[in-house]
Structure 1
Amino acid sequence: MHRIHFTADDVARVRVAPTLGPMAETLFSLHALRGRTEEAMFGAWRRRVRGGLDSRSAVLAAITPARKPAFDMVFLAGPSRDLAESAETFLASPRQAVRAELDFYAGQHSRVPAALAGLVDTLAVRREVLSTVDAYHRAAIGPHWTGIRAHLDAERARRGAILLDRGIDGLLSGLHPKIRWTPPTLHVDCGDRFDADFTLDGRGLLLVSSFFLRAPSVMYDPRNPADCIVIYPAALGVDHAAGIWTAGTSTQALANLLGRTRASVLTAIADGVTTTGALARSLDVSSAAISQHTTVLREAGLITTRRHHNNVLHNPTRTGLTLLDRDHTHPTT
C-alpha cells in the first residue's frame, strides 16, 4: 500500500492530466499485452499484436518481465507530447538515474537482462532499445493512438466535471476501487508488495489517466519522493474499446477519403473530444487549423457545431458516425 499525505496546500494544488504521452502508453501496453485479464476489452488487440511480434520482442520482455516490477523506462523518458521528445529525454538520462533503475530491477529479479545491461554507459544500446519500442509502437499503438488519446482527453474532462460538481473529495474518492481517500491521506493499492509513505510538502499531486494500465500506480523519483504522480485506469467499456480497435484498422481508408488530419478530427470528435481547443491539443495542430477542418466537416454534414458559453462544441452526425462505422449514439466514458 502506498500512502500519500496531504496538507491544505496540497489539496489546493491537485491537477489532472489526460496522459503521460504516447511513449508511456506504449510501455504501459506491454503489461496488457502480457496478461490475460479483461479479455473482452483487450483480447482482439492482443491476438493481432502478438501475431506480429518478431525476434526483437526479447527487448520488450526484458523491459516488462512476467513478474513485476518492470524496468521503469516511463520514468526515465518522462511525460511528453510525442515519441521523439521522450526519446530525447531517455537518451539524455543521467547515468546515475539509469543505474538506479537497473539496480532496483536487479534487486527484484536477481539480474539485469543482457538487452538492458549496457543502458548506463552505451548510447548505442539506448538507441537500440528505443528503436525496438518505436517499432512496437508503430505496429501496436500507432494505428489506434487517435482514439486512445481522445478517450483519455474525455476521461480528463469527466474528472473535471466531477471536481466542479463534488469538489476534491468527490474527485479523489471516485478515481478507482483500489484508491481510497481518507482525508488527509490517499491510499493507493498498486497490487505489489511494496509499502511506502509520501509527504507532498505543499507541491500538490498530479493525477494522470492511463488507457492500458488497469491497476493504479505511483510514479516517483526515489531521490525526491515528494514529487510523485498517481496513475489511475481510465474508465473503459467493452464497446468503446472495440470501437477504438475497429477505428484503428480503418484509419488509412478514411484518411484517403478526407485527408489525414481531417479524418483524425472527425474520429476525435466521435470519441468525445468536443471543443476546438481540446481537438487542437489532442492532435497537436493549431486552433485555426481545427476551425478550418471543422468548417469543412460541418458543411459536408459530418458534424454539428454549437456554442456553449465560451466554448464551441462539435458533435458527429449520423452520417459522420456511419462513415466511421460507429454505432449511432455518441460514445461516453
Structure 2
Amino acid sequence: MLRIHFTGLDLARVRIAARPDALWESILSFHRLRDKQGASIYGRWRCETRTRLNGETRLLASLVPPRGYFPDFLTPPEGVLGVEPAIEALREIPAHRLNRDLSQLAGMRTRPGWVHALGDGDTGSLSRLIGALRSYHRAAIAPYWPHIRAQIEADRAARGRALLDGGADRLLNSLPQMIRWRSPVLETDYPVDRDLYLGGRGLLLLPSFFCRRTPVTFHDRDLTPTLVYPVQHGTESVPGAPVHAYTGDVCSLGKLVGHTRSVVLQTIGAGCTTGELARRVGVSAASASQHASVLRDAGLVVTLRHGNAVLHTLTPLGAALLRGGAAAVPALSETVRS
C-alpha cells in the first residue's frame, strides 16, 4: 500500500494535470503491450501497434521491466507539453541523474552494454534511447492520441467538478476506488508498502489512459509528488474504433446532426450531467440521454460516471466540430510508420 501524507498546505496545492503526458502514456502503454489483460480495452490496440513496431521493444525492455521499477528520468514533467518537449528535456538530464536512476535496476536484471554507457553519460546511447522512444510513441501513441486525450479530458472534467463542488476533500474522495481518502492520508493499492510525505509541496494528479489497476508514482521522493492513476474506461474509448473527420463550417452543424442535437452538442461544452443537459436544452432526461448516446457513438462525446450521475464531455473531434472544423483526425486503424 502507498500512503500519501498531507498537511493543510498540501491540500491547498492539490492540482490536476492540464493535459495527458506523452511519455507517461508511452511507458505505461509498453506495459500494456506485453501483458494480456484488459483485452476489451487494449486488445485491438495491441494488434495494430505490433504491426508498426520495428525493434523498439527490445531496446525499451532493457529499461522497462514487465512490472516494478523503471527509471524516473523516462517521464520528465515536460511530457504534458508533448513528446518533443519531453525528449528535449530528456537530452538535458545530467549523467549523474541517469546513473543514479539506472542503479536502481542493477539488482533486478543484467544490463546490456549500451545501458551501462548511458549511465556513464554516453551521448550515443542517449540518442539511441531517444530514437527508440520517439519511434515507439509514433507507432503506439500518436495514432490514438485523440481518443486518449478525450478519455483523459472526461476524467479531468469529473475531477474538476468534484473540486468545485466540495474542494480538495471532495476531489480526493472522487478518485477511483483503489484510492481511498482518509484525511489526512491518501491510501492506494500499490505493489510495495511505502509512505510519501508531501511536506507542503502538494500533489499533482495525472489521469492516464494506459495506467491499469494500481496508480504509479516516482521512486525519487525529491521529485514533484505525482500520482498517476487509471481513468475509467467505457466501450466508446477502446482504441481501434473508427474516427471520422468533419471539415464543414459551424453554420452547417444543424444540417449535419439536426437542430436539437447540435444544441445538445453545444450545451455539453466543457461538461454537464444528463439532468443538466435536459434542463438547459428543454427536453426530457430520456431524450437528453438518447441524444448524448448518439453523439457518443459518433465519437463526438465521452460519457463518464460521476457519483450517482453521468458526466458528458466533448472529445477533441466534437470540439473541432463546434469550432467549425479542424485538421483531419486520423482513423485509429490507419498505419503510421517511422
TM range (shorter): 0.7 to 0.9
Q: CA deviation at 1:327?
A: 4.7
Q: Which residue of 1 aligns with 2:115?
A: 116
1:236 aligns with 2:233: yes
TM-score of the two chains, using structure 2 as the length reference? 0.72
Matched to 1:33, the amino acid is L
1:210 aligns with 2:237: no
Q: Which residue of 1 aligns with 2:72?
A: 72
**What is the SS of the residue equivalent to 1:232?**
strand
Report the CA distance shift for 1:331/1:218 in structure 2 as closer, same or farther (over 3 A): closer
Matched to 2:150, the amino acid is A
Q: CA deviation at 1:230?
A: 0.8
Q: Which residue of 2 aligns with 1:24?
A: 24
Bigger Cα displacement from structure 2, 211-220 vs 299-308: 299-308
Contact 1:179 1:189 in 2 (8 A): yes
Report the CA distance shift for 1:101/1:113 in structure 2 as closer, same or farther (over 3 A): same
Matched to 2:297, the amino acid is R
Q: Which residue of 1 aligns with 2:302?
A: 331
Q: CA deviation at 1:75?
A: 3.3
- Calculate percent identity across the aligned residue pairs: 30
Query: For the residues of structure 1 that align with 2:252 and 2:114, how far apart are their CA atoms?
Result: 48
Contact 1:77 1:90 in 2 (8 A): no
1:96 aligns with 2:96: yes
Query: For the residues of structure 1 that align with 2:222 and 2:164, how far apart are their CA atoms?
Result: 31
Contact 2:203 2:225 in 1 (8 A): yes
Report the CA distance shift for 1:83/1:157 in structure 2 as closer, same or farther (over 3 A): same
Superposed CA deviations along residues 11-62 of structure 1, whole A, max 9, x for unmatched, are 1221112545222211211011111111111111112222333233211222
Superposed CA deviations along residues 105-163 of structure 1, whole A, max 9, x for unmatched, are 113x1432344332231112111111112112112211110121122112101111122
Query: For the residues of structure 2 that align with 1:15 and 1:106, how far apart are their CA atoms?
Result: 34
Query: For the residues of structure 1 that align with 2:254 and 2:177, how far apart are their CA atoms?
Result: 44
Contact 1:13 1:203 in 2 (8 A): yes
Q: CA deviation at 1:236?
A: 0.8
Report the CA distance shift for 1:196/1:168 in structure 2 as closer, same or farther (over 3 A): same
Matches within 5 A, 1:1-333: 1-76=1-76, 78-107=78-107, 109-120=108-119, 121-190=121-190, 192-193=191-192, 195-220=193-218, 222=220, 224=222, 227-237=224-234, 239-242=235-238, 244-247=239-242, 250=243, 254=245, 258=247, 295=250, 298=253, 301=256, 304=262, 326-327=297-298, 330-333=301-304
Query: For the residues of structure 2 that align with 1:197 and 1:236, how far apart are their CA atoms?
Result: 29
Report the CA distance shift for 1:145/1:297 in structure 2 as closer, same or farther (over 3 A): farther
TM-score of the two chains, using structure 1 as the length reference? 0.73
Contact 1:62 1:115 in 2 (8 A): no
Query: For the residues of structure 2 that align with 1:330 and 1:55, how far apart are their CA atoms?
Result: 36
Superposed CA deviations along residues 196-225 of structure 1, whole A, max 9, x for unmatched, are 222222221111100001134343362626
Q: CA deviation at 1:78?
A: 4.2
Report the CA distance shift for 1:62/1:19 in structure 2 as closer, same or farther (over 3 A): farther
Contact 1:216 1:230 in 2 (8 A): no
Matched to 1:40, the amino acid is S
Query: For the residues of structure 2 that align with 1:205 and 1:132, how far apart are their CA atoms?
Result: 30
Superposed CA deviations along residues 69-115 of structure 1, whole A, max 9, x for unmatched, are 223343346433111100110010011211111001113x1432344
Contact 1:218 1:228 in 2 (8 A): no
Q: Which residue of 1 aligns with 2:313?
A: none
Query: For the residues of structure 1 that align with 2:28 and 2:7, how far apart are their CA atoms?
Result: 31
Matched to 2:146, the amino acid is T
Structure 1: which 5+ residue stretches go unaligned?
263-292
Query: For the residues of structure 1 that align with 2:89 and 2:99, how far apart are their CA atoms?
Result: 16
Report the CA distance shift for 1:133/1:178 in structure 2 as closer, same or farther (over 3 A): same
C-alpha root-mean-square deviation of aligned residues, in Å? 3.5
Q: Which residue of 1 aligns with 2:316?
A: none
**What is the SS of the residue equivalent to 1:52?**
coil
Q: Which residue of 2 aligns with 1:280?
A: none
Contact 2:173 2:180 in 1 (8 A): yes
Matched to 1:116, the amino acid is V
Q: CA deviation at 1:328?
A: 8.6
